[in-house]
Amino acid sequence: MPITLIAGLGNPGSRYVDTRHNAGFWFLDQLAQQANESFRNNDKFYGDICKINSCWLLKPNTFMNLSGKSIAALANFYKIPAEQILVIHDELDFPVGTIRLKKGGGDGLHNGLKDIIAKLGSRNFLRLRIGIGHPGHSSKVTNYVLNKPTIDDQIAIDHVINSALKEMPLIMAGELNQAMQVLHSLNLP
């Protein structure tokens, strides 16, 4: 089943542009740039949108923990089922330089995913999870995700984003198994 909505998660505003939590935004910015498209604000969908062929790209302006409001607004308006939605987000539980594609699942204690599941009423959307590493203790997570990665971590994250961008035609066409084989075998640069 082809993907008709790709949502990248992050926080709006210049304070958060370079923070780990914005890995989903980084990915979508690169995807749009490759297609020579630009995002424009859309108040109806609470985010910035553009379109590549028949697929919407969405960067919610609702802040991470309320991402579902934006995604559900666009999905409901265009009658896009959860199975045709791909959410791209940072993943604390994966080492930096790891990227994984997954069908469905829980929220993994990710507040953005928790809100999306609640607002869509479904867990059956795809997730592209970009590893950002873990600070070691739960008390350090908020500060960690809301700060810039180290130079080495940024290089590793950029590497997996660039590699995953090459697989987007397969993912967007719904050829997930083939894309997973490539993505799940990526190594650090």
d(CA 83, CA 2): 9
Neighbour tally for 122: CB within 10 Å = 16
* Pair 9, 19: CB distance under 8 Å: no
Say what the pLDDT of residue 1 is.
86
Residue 21 known to be catalytic: yes
Supply the pLDDT for residue 188.
Answer: 55
* From 21, 89, 134, 159, the catalytic residue: 21
Instruction: Give the chain's domains with CATH numbers.
Output: 5-183 (3.40.50.1470)
Give percent of the chain above pLDDT 70: 98
Is the pLDDT at 189 greater than 60, yes or no?
no
Read off the pLDDT of residues 94-142 as tens digits, 9 standing for 90 and up: 999 899 999 999 888 788 999 999 999 999 999 999 999 999 999 999 9
> Do residues 149 and 110 make contact, with C-beta atoms less than 8 angstroms apart?
no
Q: How many residues does the chain have?
A: 189
Name the pTM for this structure.
0.95
